[in-house]
């Protein structure tokens, strides 16, 4: 069981930001990454549709013998993680916007959160925000259009810059000192955020925390791969595999799969 792969899925290529953190912390774990790019973005879909898609991705990863699944998508986690945990026996790791560390460390008492509509309107997001960001100014911004541009490989473009300027303006007006990236696609925009934001604003995402949590849960369940062999990492996309390949590097094994 310990050599079985870790399954990771996202609505598209964004969850590779989480795969990179997991692979760097657990380099000998075998992994299977599923990019459901044909159905991206999830962020504008209903909770029911996001659940159906997450179940479909999970079923595929289970058929491949995955020992644990990382839902590398804030939208899928905040809307479906409890359904997944209640329906299947294996452990699930989810990702949520890192509101807690931002709220605890903010000096200006104002934080910005950029995420999808699906995440920002979820019950889980509401509960976490009420718990940790009580008394703070929380500027929530839906990143409409960002995932679509990233899925097309249009990262450093004028269209992207124009959208980011609009989305960051209310946060700058509110004097935020933390920007929380609440979507796994957004870490790929960090070079642009650094260019558009004043230096004192810190940018945080949950990637590293998810990798640490994955390790802890594997350990707790006695399924950490202790074999020292080189890991096998397979990437599948039901969209354009070239875009996934560009973001991962040419040596990665990326294939088109009609799932």
As annotated, the active-site residues are 73, 183
Instruction: Name the residue among 27, 8, 168 with its Cα closest to residue 95.
Output: 8
14 contacts ligand DGL (rule: CB under 6 A): yes
Give the residue, chosen from 37, 184, 214, 237, that forms a contact with ligand DGL under the rule CB under 6 A. 184
21 contacts ligand DGL (rule: CB under 6 A): no
Give the residue, chosen from 5, 6, 8, 10, that forms a contact with ligand DGL under the rule CB under 6 A. 10
Question: What's the Cα-to-Cα distance from 224 to each of 16, 94, 166, 211, 218, rounded to whole Å?
Answer: 21, 18, 44, 13, 5
Give me the residues paired with residue 46 across strands: none
Number of residues that this document lists for the chain: 259
Distance CA 184, CA 35 (A): 12
The minimum distance between CB 80 and ligand DGL, in angstroms, equals 12
Decide: helix, strand or coil at residue 60.
helix
Instruction: Name the residue among 3, 2, 55, 64 with its Cα closest to residue 33.
Output: 64
43 contacts ligand DGL (rule: CB under 6 A): yes
Binding segment (CB under 6 A) for ligand DGL, from list 12-20, 200-208, 212-220, 245-253? 12-20
147 contacts ligand DGL (rule: CB under 6 A): yes
Please report where in the chains the tokens 């799969």 appear, as a residue. 257
37 contacts ligand DGL (rule: CB under 6 A): no
Give the residue, chosen from 141, 185, 211, 254, that forms a contact with ligand DGL under the rule CB under 6 A. 185
Could you list the residues that contact ligand DGL (CB under 6 A)? 10-12, 14-15, 40-43, 73-75, 116, 119, 147, 183-185
């Amino acid at each position: 069981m310990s050599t079985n792969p870790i399954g990771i899925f996202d609505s598209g290529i964004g969850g590779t930001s989480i795969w990179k953190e997991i692979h760097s912390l657990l380099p000998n774990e075998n992994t299977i990454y599923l990019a459901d790019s044909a159905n991206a973005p999830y962020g504008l879909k209903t909770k029911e549709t996001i659940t159906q898609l997450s179940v479909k991705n999970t079923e595929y990863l289970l058929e491949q013998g995955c020992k644990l699944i990382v839902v590398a998508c804030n939208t899928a986690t905040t809307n479906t993680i409890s359904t997944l945990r209640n329906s299947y026996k294996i452990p699930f790791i989810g990702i949520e916007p890192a509101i807690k560390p931002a709220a605890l460390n903010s000096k200006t008492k104002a934080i910005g959160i950029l995420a999808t509509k699906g995440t920002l309107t979820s019950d889980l997001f509401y509960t976490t925000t009420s718990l940790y960001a009580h008394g703070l100014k929380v500027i929530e911004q839906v990143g409409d259009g960002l995932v679509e541009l990233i899925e097309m490989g249009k990262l450093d473009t004028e269209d992207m810059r124009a959208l980011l300027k609009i989305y960051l303006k209310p946060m700058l007006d509110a004097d935020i000192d933390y920007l929380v990236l609440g979507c796994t696609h957004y870490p790929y925009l960090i070079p642009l955020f650094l260019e558009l934001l004043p230096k004192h604003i810190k940018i945080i995402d949950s990637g590293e925390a998810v990798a640490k949590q994955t390790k802890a849960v594997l350990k707790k369940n006695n399924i950490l791969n202790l074999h020292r062999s080189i890991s096998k990492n397979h990437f599948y996309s039901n969209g354009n595999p070239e875009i996934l390949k560009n973001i991962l590097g040419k040596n990665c094994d990326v294939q088109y799969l009609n799932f």
